[in-house]
């Protein structure tokens, strides 16, 4: 690629990159929070709610992210949901990620030995305190690798937002490549960039994983 092109499109690409990171971070945080709520509601909620949530999980996990985005962004106005591309994309990421996170939390809960919960009940601890002080911290340790792993998967899903015209990195690169006719180079650089990004994030994630596990389990 020529420097001139980079100079011309640099700021645009940077903005796109910023938006990619923002979508990823917010999407991860929102979908993780929603996933946690779903997992807790499935653990403590009434049976009909549990069925409803299970159906939600199956439907979202059984359909492509792209189709979910289309329903939300193009179908939304029919039910009065008129969103700009970025909020629609964020909402889409949140919905798409939540069932996976819910399942991760659910298996994290299952990994907490029942005796540790009973020990808390035996001293008369209220259920909401047990959740906060015993269930969540212990479950988090076993769920952490899967949480990190799925957050990394979400980085890659952000490129799909370009299809509903969210001006993130993928979108900007495609715009640049059509304007300069450098399709191959642009996509090659984009691929290498993502490779680097995902590798960096996973390396960082693994470090974070050992840190947190260490912190929660034992301080030497």
- Least CB distance to other proteins at residue 82 (A): 13
Q: Is residue 70 a contact point for other proteins (CB under 8 A)?
A: yes
Question: If binding is defined by CB under 8 A, does position 124 make contact with other proteins?
Answer: yes
According to the binding rule CB under 8 A, does residue 51 interact with other proteins?
A: no
The single residue among 9, 24, 30, 65 that binds other proteins, judged by CB under 8 A, is: 65
Contacts 24+ apart (CB under 8 A), 202-211: 202/148, 202/152, 205/148, 205/149, 205/151, 205/152, 206/148, 208/148, 209/144, 209/145, 209/148
CB of 3 to other proteins, least distance (A): 22
Is there binding between residue 24 and other proteins (CB under 8 A)? Answer: no
Residue 66 touches other proteins, criterion: CB under 8 A: yes
Is residue 179 part of the contact set for other proteins (CB under 8 A)? Answer: no
Q: What is the per-residue DSSP string for 38-107?
A: HHHHHHHS-HHHHHHHHHHHHHHHHS-HHHHHHIIIIIGGGGT----HHHHHHHHHHHHHHHHHHHHHHH
Q: Is 46 in the site for other proteins (CB under 8 A)?
A: no
Q: Work out whether 197 is an interface residue with other proteins (CB under 8 A).
A: yes
């Amino acid at each position: 690629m020529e420097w001139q092109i980079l100079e011309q499109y640099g700021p645009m690409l940077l903005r796109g990159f910023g938006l990619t990171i923002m979508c990823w971070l917010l999407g991860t945080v929102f979908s993780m929070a929603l996933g946690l709520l779903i997992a807790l509601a499935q653990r403590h909620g009434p049976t009909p709610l549990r069925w409803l949530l299970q159906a939600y999980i199956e439907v979202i996990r059984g359909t492509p992210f792209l189709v979910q985005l289309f329903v939300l962004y193009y179908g939304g106005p029919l039910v009065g949901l008129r969103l700009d591309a970025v909020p629609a994309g964020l909402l889409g990421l949140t919905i798409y990620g939540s069932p996976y996170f819910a399942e991760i939390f659910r298996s994290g809960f299952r990994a907490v030995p029942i005796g540790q919960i009973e020990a808390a009940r035996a001293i008369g601890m209220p259920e909401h305190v047990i959740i906060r002080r015993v269930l969540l911290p212990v479950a988090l340790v076993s769920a952490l690798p899967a949480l990190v792993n799925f957050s990394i998967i979400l980085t890659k899903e952000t490129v799909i937002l370009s299809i509903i015209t969210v001006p993130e990195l993928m979108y900007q690169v495609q715009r640049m490549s059509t304007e300069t006719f450098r399709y191959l180079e642009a996509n090659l650089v984009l691929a290498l960039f993502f490779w680097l990004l995902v590798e960096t994030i996973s390396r960082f994630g693994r470090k974070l994983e050992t840190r947190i596990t260490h912190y929660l389990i034992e301080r030497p």
